[in-house]
């Protein structure tokens, strides 16, 4: 694939990727063509399995975590999705720490994060954006 496409998928600028290639710091093999185009020989990331993510905002709701996780598991199994991780977190507010969610986002085996509530999906999106900053 072209260097610019690879850079976009990695969340970095094409100039940054070009400098990395020039300095010999690319994490994947590259091939400069006589035309000036740089080809990246990276394996396409295959979509991985599913991570189940259950979260409640306070400790007195901990019992709901197991119920959420059970419903998520049933949903994944009904759709024949391979479950590679399951996570339960307790934390309040939109800006609360999400160490477990960040761990899932960094895991290359995870292709999809399954959540039960729309608010959790937004928190996952915010955590993903923070991860790429």
Tell me whether residue 57 is one of the annotated catalytic residues.
Answer: yes
CA distance linking residue 59 with residue 88, whole number of Å: 12
- DSSP, collapsed to helix, strand or coil, labels residue 15 as helix
Cβ–Cβ < 8 Å for 53, 43? no
CA angle (120 as vertex; 105, 76 as ends), nearest 5: 70
DSSP string for residues in 113-133:
EEESSHHHHHHHHHHHHHHT-
Catalytic entry in 57, 58, 75, 92: 57
Which residues have a catalytic role annotated? 57
């Amino acid at each position: 694939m072209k260097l610019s496409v690879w850079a976009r998928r990695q969340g970095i600028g094409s100039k940054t990727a070009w400098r990395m290639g020039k300095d010999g710091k690319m994490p994947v093999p590259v091939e400069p063509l006589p035309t000036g185009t740089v080809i990246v020989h990276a394996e396409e990331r295959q979509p991985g399995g599913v991570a189940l993510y259950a979260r409640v905002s306070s400790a007195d709701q901990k019992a709901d975590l197991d119920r959420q996780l059970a419903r998520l598991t049933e949903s994944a199994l009904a759709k024949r999705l391979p479950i590679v991780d399951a996570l339960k977190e307790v934390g309040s507010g939109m800006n609360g720490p999400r160490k477990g969610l960040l761990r899932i986002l960094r895991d290359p085996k995870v292709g999809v994060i399954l959540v039960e509530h729309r608010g959790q999906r937004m928190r996952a999106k915010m955590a993903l954006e923070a991860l790429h900053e």
